[in-house]
Amino acid sequence: MTYLTKLSAAALSELLVAKEVSAVEATRAHLDHITAVDTDLHAFLHVAGDAALQAAARIDARRAAGETLNPLAGVPIAIKDVLATHDMPTTAGSKILEGWVPPYDATVVARLRSAGLVPLGKTNMDEFAMGSSTEHSAYGVTRNPWDRGRIPGGSGGGAAAAVASFQAPLALGSDTGGSIRQPAAVTGSVGVKPTYGGVSRYGAIALASSLDQVGPVSRTVYDAALLHDVIGGHDPLDSTSLTDSWPSMAAAAQAGLTDGALKGVRVGVIKELSGDGFQAGVTQRFTETLALLVAAGAEITEVSAPNFEYAVAAYYLILPAEASSNLARFDSVRFGIRVNPESGSLTSEHVMSATREAGFGAEVKRRIILGTYALSAGYYDAYYGSAQKVRTLIQRDFATAFSQVDVLVSPSAPTTAFKFGEKLADPMAMYINDVTTIPANLAGVPGMSIPIGLAPEDGLPVGLQIMAPAKADARLYTVGAAIEQLLEARWGHTMLSQAPALTPTEMFASEEGAV
């Protein structure tokens, strides 16, 4: 049943609907594959095997009884550990929440369950989603399936690695400054950050509330669209949730597969997101993709977004400021661990301080202290106040650009996957890695990353970022599916079919080889 793990969610769904494969068989195939490969990759923090098989059996029973179910019913899915699940631990990659089982489901998780998707488990992430490499997880790194000595991106490295290594066809991620799109780029998978407010944040452990968005992680654009349709739409439990009615993203992706889908589409190339600092192979694949777009009838224009240069700086003021107040809830009283101080009196204040010293990792402390600084009297106007003004300028850059073009494109990340430890010693080197993805979060616009080939110099995946105006998420799916189809036609295969095999036997062989 190994072949079941290689199928897209859409292809698996067809077999399930036709009753050629049961949800239990599909779930068991994925659980077996997790057992075979994940001790090494460590994409999952928790695998809920029994619960998954029971959920799958219920779907099979309902389908056998002739119920009409969502097409994705019975399809397995992995869930980033930032999302509350009432039956699985939810730690956000932090020791401070070790073992915490929330008393409720995040809205997106409730919607998955109600559509009949089968949760396999929770995926690894940088602690509280602070990082671009998953090296800041309190529970150890996740390895990139393309090269186990390299990072899988972050913060959602676990979700991307799980999907890229065929441990799940779908995953849910969250994206505050690129945490869905950058892991997708470096693992050769697909990731979408929806319009801010398009998907509920209720039950997503907050990092920076004005930037966070939950979104789909998958191996194909169409699969991401199917998942987007399940999780999207208004949620009264999230006061920032948009009340708009949304078109079918799946239909939008299908529209991208028709002839001439790219004809006359105005594509803007962002001048500021290219050139110095971008790896040669990334630039090469990006340029080739632009040529492919031109050949397909798209009109390419260079657009300038002069204030993007200030986006990373603004982001690393706004994010820490919001995070420092959001993470104040970890007070050792209502949830999480409690640690008593080694000396001094046992007051609430001292216990809280000792708990946060023991429970938070270095990056979380760094950002809380930075945020506390940015918000303190005397610095507020110069730092946080200015960053909010930059946010306005970046929104204006997007508005100007989208008055000329339908979508904007850039490489999803400046480089391919870097090696473990390469950027750990220098926080700014890690932060600047998000230069391509951060502007979309500051402006609230949707963004998608799709694979566009391997960089010739290192054989690692390169991603294309596509951005659309706020609420025009459907456009991403049309354009993304069209480009994906063009590339796969040219390659004669999918991107992830080229990833190194991860069978247990080969893993042992490579370990022996390394010795």
Partner 1 sequence: MSEITAEQVAHLAYLARIDLSPLEITNLTHDLGQIVDSIAKVSEVATADTPATSHPMPLTNVFREDVVVPSLTVEQALSGAPDRAGDKFRVPAILDEE
Looking at the Cβ atoms of 381 and 512, the one nearer to partner 1 is 381
* Inter-CA distances, 334 with 100, 273, 329, 388, Å: 11, 44, 9, 32
Looking at the Cβ atoms of 251 and 369, the one nearer to partner 1 is 369
Token pair recorded at residue 298:
């798209």
Say how many CA atoms lie within 13 Å of 165 toward its Cβ: 36
Min dist CB 397 to partner 1, Å, is 11
Contacts 24+ apart (CB under 8 A), 231-234: 231/108, 231/111, 231/112, 231/172, 231/199, 231/200, 232/194, 232/198, 232/199
Q: Quick one: which of 283, 372, 494, 498 contacts partner 1 (CB under 8 A)?
A: 372
Give me the amino acid identity at 280. A
Among residues 26, 6, 253, 230, the alpha carbon closest in space to that of 110 is found at 230
CA geometry: angle 189, 439, 247, nearest 5 deg? 60
Binders of partner 1 among residues 324 to 363 (CB under 8 A) are: 324, 328, 331-338, 341, 345-354, 356-357, 360, 362
Looking at the Cβ atoms of 80 and 356, the one nearer to partner 1 is 356
How many chain residues bind partner 1 (CB under 8 A)? 75
Q: Compute the Cα dihedral for 81, 85, 86, 88 and give only its sign.
A: negative
Q: For residue 498, state whether it binds partner 1 (rule: CB under 8 A).
A: no
Q: For residue 389, state whether it binds partner 1 (rule: CB under 8 A).
A: yes
Binders of partner 1 among residues 42 to 101 (CB under 8 A) are: 100-101
Which is it for strands 76-80 and 170-175: parallel, antiparallel or unpaired? Answer: parallel
Looking at the Cβ atoms of 285 and 391, the one nearer to partner 1 is 391
Binders of partner 1 among residues 278 to 317 (CB under 8 A) are: 307, 310, 312-314, 316-317
Cβ contact 282:411 at 8 Å: yes
Looking at the Cβ atoms of 49 and 427, the one nearer to partner 1 is 427
Looking at the Cβ atoms of 12 and 314, the one nearer to partner 1 is 314
Calpha distance 216→504 (Å, rounded): 28
Min dist CB 220 to partner 1, Å, is 28
Min dist CB 418 to partner 1, Å, is 19
Looking at the Cβ atoms of 340 and 503, the one nearer to partner 1 is 340
Among residues 427, 423, 432, the alpha carbon closest in space to that of 366 is found at 427
Min dist CB 58 to partner 1, Å, is 23
Instruction: Select from 2-10, 30-38, 219-227, 323-331 the region that touches partner 1 (CB under 8 A).
Output: 323-331
Binders of partner 1 among residues 170 to 199 (CB under 8 A) are: 195-197
Instruction: Select from 18-26, 55-63, 297-305, 367-375 the region that touches partner 1 (CB under 8 A).
Output: 367-375
Min dist CB 481 to partner 1, Å, is 26
Give the list of residues 6+ apart from residue 206 with CB closer than 8 angstroms, or none. Answer: 212, 322, 326
Token pair recorded at residue 219:
């191996």
Instruction: Give the containing element (helix H, strand E) for 46.
Output: strand 44-47
Min dist CB 384 to partner 1, Å, is 9
Q: Quick one: which of 392, 400, 497, 510 contacts partner 1 (CB under 8 A)?
A: 392
Instruction: Select from 28-36, 55-63, 137-145, 390-398 the region that touches partner 1 (CB under 8 A).
Output: 390-398
State CA 503 to chain mean position distance: 25
Cβ contact 104:115 at 8 Å: no
Min dist CB 388 to partner 1, Å, is 4
Give the list of residues 6+ apart from residue 120 with CB closer than 8 angstroms, or none. Answer: 27, 30, 31, 34, 44, 47, 48, 52, 76, 77, 78, 167, 168
- Report, as residue numbers or ranges, the catalytic residues: 80, 155, 179
Q: Compute the Cα dihedral for 330, 242, 479, 256 and give only its sign.
A: positive
Binders of partner 1 among residues 214 to 243 (CB under 8 A) are: 236, 239-240, 242
Backbone angles phi, psi at 213, to 5 degrees: -145, 140
Binding characters for partner 1, 422-451, by CB under 8 A (x = yes): -----xx--x---------xxxxx------
Q: For residue 277, state whether it binds partner 1 (rule: CB under 8 A).
A: no
Binders of partner 1 among residues 103 to 162 (CB under 8 A) are: 103-104
Looking at the Cβ atoms of 343 and 403, the one nearer to partner 1 is 343
Give a three-class secondary structure readout of 159-199.
Answer: HHHHHHCCCCCEEEEEECCCCCHHHHHHHCCEEEECCCCCE
Q: Quick one: which of 283, 388, 494, 498 contacts partner 1 (CB under 8 A)?
A: 388
Binders of partner 1 among residues 1 to 40 (CB under 8 A) are: none
Give the list of residues 6+ apart from residue 68 with CB closer than 8 angstroms, or none. Answer: none
Binding characters for partner 1, 459-478, by CB under 8 A (x = yes): -----------x--------
